[in-house]
Chains A and B, each alone.
Chain A
C-alpha cells in the first residue's frame, strides 16, 4: 500500500465517521453521548490524511533532489512508505457505511436474545403524572417483572417499539437497549394482548406506539418473563431518530 492510498484511507474513514454523525445514523450503532467524540475523531483522521497527502508531494520533490529515502536501509524505507496490507480492511466499514448503511437492530437480533431483563432489586418510583404516560419498553418490563406491576396498575401507558412475532402466537412490542454499542444490545419484549377490533398484526419490524394497560399474567421475578399489555390503541409510526431505549 502506497502512502497516497494510506492518506486516502485516512480521509475516507474520517469522512465516513463525520457523515454518520451529522445525519444521526450513528444512533443506529452507538449511544448519543458519542457524538462529540466521533466528530473529533473524524476531524483528526481527515487532518492526518490531508497532512499525509502534503507529505507525499513534499517527498516526491525530495526524491528529485536525491534527498530523503536513499540513506536508510531499504526494508525500513519499505516499511515507512508502504503501510501494512491489513490497512486495506479499513475500507470495509467505510463501504458498509456508504453503500449498505446497516439499519438499527431489528426483529432478527431481538429474537436471538433469550432473556428479557436482568434482575433488579430496586423499588420502582411511581410513574410521572399524565394519562397516557409514555414509558420505555425496558422500564415497563422492569416494573412489571421485578416490581410486580405495582406502579403500573390502574395506569394507561403509551409505549414505542417494533413488532417481533412471538413464535408461540401473537407478537411482542420490542425495543433494543444498548449498554455501549449495538454489539451488546439486549431486547426488551412485551406481549401485546387484546388488540382493538379489526386490528391485524403488522409485519415484523413495523414501528408502533401501543397505548394500553398492564394486566398480570406475564410472570414475575424471572429474567425470561415477558409481561403483558392490553392494547386499547395501536398506531404505526416511522422509526424514531434514536431507535434504542
Chain B
C-alpha cells in the first residue's frame, strides 16, 4: 500500500515474475513428485494431508456459493438502498443493520469491504460496523453450513445466530456511545467496479474467492496438523477443563482465521470439545481473527482496529458463554 509512487513500473516487472514462478514451481513439483509422495508415506503426515484436503473440499461449495452471492449483492443492489432502509435514529439503526446482516450471504472477507463502502456512502459507522460483524456470522449460508456440520444439533445453530447478533448489536452501541470517527482512516474501494454490472459481479466474486480462499487453506492446514500433531490424550485433557477449553477454542478461532462459511466444519472436527467452546469458536472466528484484523487495519486504519478488535473479542466471548449456558446445556 505504501509503495504507491513506482507502482506501475513495478507492476510490469512483477507481472512476468509471478507467472514464471507459477510455471517453474509447477514443473519442479511434477518432476519431484516421486520424492514428495515418498515423504508423505509417513502415516501422521498422510492423515494430516487427508484432513487438510477434506476440509478444503467440504468448504469449497460454501465458499464459492458465498462469493457468487456477495458479488451479486455488491453488483446489483446499490448501497443507497441500505441508506433508505435504515431508521434515522442511530441507536435504533444498529439492531436493524444487524438483522440486515442476514442479507449479505458472504463471509467476513466480503463484509469488510462492503462495510467500508457503506461508511463511505454515508451510513453511520455504528450501523456499518454492526453489519460488518453480523453479516459473516448470521447469514443463511453460514447457518446452513453450521447445520450441516453439526447434524443433530439444531440448538447450536440457534445459539450461534443469537450470540453473534447480540455481539454485533452490543459492539455497535458501544461504538455509538464511545467511538470516534476520527479513529477511522478510510481509503476508497472502487477497484472492482467494471463496465457492466455483470463484470462487477464477476470481479467481486473472483476477488473475494482469492482473498478468502487463501486464508481458508491456511486455516485448514493448521487445523489438520493440530488434529494430528497434538496427542489425543492432551487434547482430551484441555477439552475436559471447561475454562481451558473455551480459552483454547477462542485462541484457535483468532489464529486459524477460517472463513465463516467453513468454520463450522473445522469446529465440529474437534470432537472432544464441549458445544459451548465450539460456540465460542464460531462466534469469535467471524468477528475477530488474524486476517480480519489485518483487513480492518487495511480498510479502517490501525487506530481503529486496535480498539475495535479487543472490544469485539470480549463481547463475543461473553455472549457465547451466556447464550451457550442457556441453550446448550
Contact = CB atoms under 8 A, between A and B. Distances in A.
A92 to B, nearest CB: 5
A123 interface: no
Contacts of A112: 228, 232
Interface in A98-152: 99-100, 102-109, 112-114
B55 A38 contact: no
Interface of B: 1, 4-5, 7-8, 11, 14-15, 18-19, 22, 25, 29-30, 33, 36-37, 40, 43-44, 46-47, 49-58, 60-61, 64-65, 68, 148-151, 187-192, 199, 202-203, 205-207, 209-211, 213-215, 217-218, 220-221, 223-224, 227-228, 232-233, 236, 265-266, 268-269, 271, 291
A153 interface: no
16 contacts: A1-B210, A2-B15, A10-B209, A38-B60, A72-B190, A73-B4, A74-B5, A75-B1, A76-B191, A79-B191, A84-B211, A90-B217, A108-B46, A108-B47, A179-B150, A180-B268
A72 B61 contact: no
Contacts of A86: 211, 214-215, 218, 291
B19 A4 contact: yes
Nearest to A10: B206
A148 to B, nearest CB: 23
Nearest 3 CB-CB pairings of A with B: A86-B214, A182-B54, A29-B54
Nearest to B20: A5
A119 to B, nearest CB: 13
A75 B298 CA distance: 12
Which of B25, B51, B54: most chain A CB closer than 10 A? B54
A34 B54 CA distance: 12
B43 A87 contact: no
B11 A82 contact: yes
A114 B217 contact: no
B58 A34 contact: yes
Contacts of A95: 29
Contacts of A69: 8
A186 interface: yes
Secondary structure of the B contact surface, majority rule:
helix
B202 A51 contact: yes
A20 interface: yes
A93 B56 contact: yes
Given A79-B191, A80-B192, A100-B49, A90 B54 contact: no
Contacts of B215: 86, 89
Interface stretch (A40-48, A188-196, A208-216, A230-238): A40-48
B180 to A, nearest CB: 25
Nearest to A180: B149
A77 B40 contact: no
Contacts of B236: 114
A238 B209 CA distance: 38
Contacts of B8: 69, 74, 77
A57 interface: no
Contact of A105 (B25, B50, B52): B50
A40 B61 contact: yes
A100 B47 CA distance: 12
B213 A87 contact: yes
B1 to A, nearest CB: 6
Given A9-B210, A76-B191, A38 B227 contact: no
A184 B265 contact: yes
A87 B132 CA distance: 23
Contacts of A4: 15, 19
A103 B46 CA distance: 7
B189 A76 contact: yes
A6 B210 contact: yes
A41 B1 CA distance: 32
Contacts of B58: 29-30, 34, 180-181, 183
Contacts of B217: 89-90, 92-93
Contact of B214 (A10, A26, A88, A180): A88
Contacts of A8: 19, 22
B199 to A, nearest CB: 8
Nearest to B25: A91
A94 B190 CA distance: 31
Nearest to B270: A184
Contacts of B291: 86
